[in-house]
Amino acid sequence: MPINAHPDYLAAEKEYSQADSLENKIEKLKKMISLAPSHKGAENLRAQLKTRLKKFQEQLIKAKKSGKSTQAGIKKGDLQVVIIGRTNTGKSSLISVLTNAKPRISSSEFCTKKPVVGISTHESIQIQLIENPAIESENYDKGLTNSADIVLILIKNFEELEKFQIQTPNQIIVFNEFKKIPENEKRKLTSKFQTKKYNFVFISTQTCSGIQELKKKIFEKFDKIRVYTKEPRKEKSPRPIILKKNSNVGEVAEKILKGFSKNVKETKIWGPSSKFPGQKVGLKHALKDLDVVEFKTR
């Protein structure tokens, strides 16, 4: 803390400590520099702040070039879905319906200033969903979208799709019906989506219609497998471990605890990849969805 620091500087310092992204840190750091004491005794402080600012600005440039997220504090889950869309398409309402998140829902434009994270449970697995701020706002995090397993593009009319530059095989177009669409109009829209070969679903965040279909589409879109673990003479774990397809037994062990595979004495499996229940296999055995693995350690 600098000597004779003005209360405004101390307030700016507190804001900086609470910043949750590179952009916010840069903004608060600039404010600290403008409010830093100007006397000679604070020269080192001002120099340190300017050096830190330059470092953050360079990091931000690199992050934007690489497409990585600049948002701090969001650890990517095993299964991550990012919701994107223009302002007032119902993104906050959708994440509220799908997860335990409690975002601020408002009809005002650009209400969401930073990503909102929630967890949804489906088919015994937990899915991390993130609402990205409006795609046309300065708060939109391109890195989050680029790193997501699945992107939900939320629209309220077909013409909005023409304004999106997002093209990924893992996208799902989610048409949010703010008002009930007549069946003849829905058929026309369905034909347009099918002609473009879009993976799409009609929902309503107001009535929750189509939500279960959307959950099913999200689940089917993940190119992952679920593997349950169990201890000898006990039931399997209530929640599975999520892995890439063609993962092996050793990778399950390492997912439990790094280095754990070295302590495995014997492995038995039940499920689609086994020739018979309780088959003994090695660490290189390739697993399939819904397998159950039992480890005996040395």
What is the span of the domain harbouring residue 157?
80-221
pLDDT, residue 4, reads 60
Q: Residue 71: inside a domain, yes or no?
A: no
pLDDT, residue 64, reads 61
Q: Is residue 166 domain-shared with residue 232, that is, in the same domain?
A: no
Cα–Cα–Cα angle for 247, 250, 253, rounded to 5 degrees? 110
Q: Residue 74: inside a domain, yes or no?
A: no
**CB of 228 closer than 8 Å to CB of 290:** yes
Question: Distance between alpha carbon 144 and the CA centroid of its chain, in Å?
Answer: 7
Q: Is residue 203 domain-shared with residue 94, that is, in the same domain?
A: yes
Q: Is residue 205 domain-shared with residue 91, that is, in the same domain?
A: yes
Give the residue among 48, 5, 49, 7 at the shortest CA–CA distance from 29.
49
- Report how far residue 206's alpha carbon sits from residue 111's, in angstroms, rounded to the nearest whole number: 18
Q: Residue 192: inside a domain, yes or no?
A: yes
Domain end call among 15, 31, 66: 66
pTM recorded for the entire structure: 0.69
Q: Is residue 96 domain-shared with residue 203, that is, in the same domain?
A: yes
Q: Residue 268: inside a domain, yes or no?
A: yes
Q: Is residue 22 domain-shared with residue 121, that is, in the same domain?
A: no
Q: Residue 72: inside a domain, yes or no?
A: no
CATH of the domain at 254: 3.10.20.30
Task: Give the SS3 label for residue 132.
Answer: coil
Q: Is residue 113 domain-shared with residue 212, that is, in the same domain?
A: yes
Domains: count for the chain: 3
Q: Is residue 112 domain-shared with residue 170, that is, in the same domain?
A: yes
Q: Residue 98: inside a domain, yes or no?
A: yes
Confidence band, pLDDT 50/70/90 cuts, at residue 59 = confident
Q: Write down the mean pLDDT value for the chain.
A: 85
Average pLDDT over residues 15-32: 78
User: What single DSSP character describes residue 153?
Assistant: E
> What's the pLDDT tens digit per position in 4-17?
667 787 888 877 87
Q: Are strands 150-155 and 171-176 parallel, antiparallel or unpaired?
A: parallel
Q: Is residue 211 domain-shared with residue 252, that is, in the same domain?
A: no
Confidence band, pLDDT 50/70/90 cuts, at residue 1 = very low
Domain end call among 158, 188, 221: 221
Q: Is residue 122 domain-shared with residue 207, that is, in the same domain?
A: yes
Range picked from 76-80, 103-107, 154-158 for highest mean pLDDT:
154-158
**CB of 238 closer than 8 Å to CB of 126:** no
**CB of 135 closer than 8 Å to CB of 129:** no
The residue type found at 121 is T
Least confident stretch, 18-27, 121-130, 243-252, 279-288: 18-27
Of residues 65 and 3, which shows the higher confidence score?
65
Least confident stretch, 97-111, 112-126, 179-193, 210-224: 97-111
Q: Is residue 193 domain-shared with residue 235, that is, in the same domain?
A: no
- Report how far residue 292's alpha carbon sits from residue 78's, in angstroms, rounded to the nearest whole number: 18
Q: Is residue 137 domain-shared with residue 96, that is, in the same domain?
A: yes
**CB of 126 closer than 8 Å to CB of 239:** yes
Cα torsion angle, 241, 243, 249, 251, sign? negative
Element (H, E) at 235: none
Angular region, 120: left φ>0, alpha ψ -120 to 50, beta rest = beta
Confidence band, pLDDT 50/70/90 cuts, at residue 63 = low
Confidence band, pLDDT 50/70/90 cuts, at residue 203 = very high
Confidence band, pLDDT 50/70/90 cuts, at residue 166 = low
Element (H, E) at 188: helix 183-195
Average pLDDT over residues 12-31: 78
Q: Residue 210: inside a domain, yes or no?
A: yes
CA distance readout (Å), 70 to 60, 61, 64, 129, 221: 7, 10, 8, 17, 26
Give the residue among 90, 91, 147, 151 at the shortest CA–CA distance from 115.
91
Q: Residue 2: inside a domain, yes or no?
A: no
CATH of the domain at 211: 3.40.50.300
Element (H, E) at 266: strand 264-270
Please, which residues have CB within 8 angstroms of residue 66's CB and are 6 or more apart in sequence? none
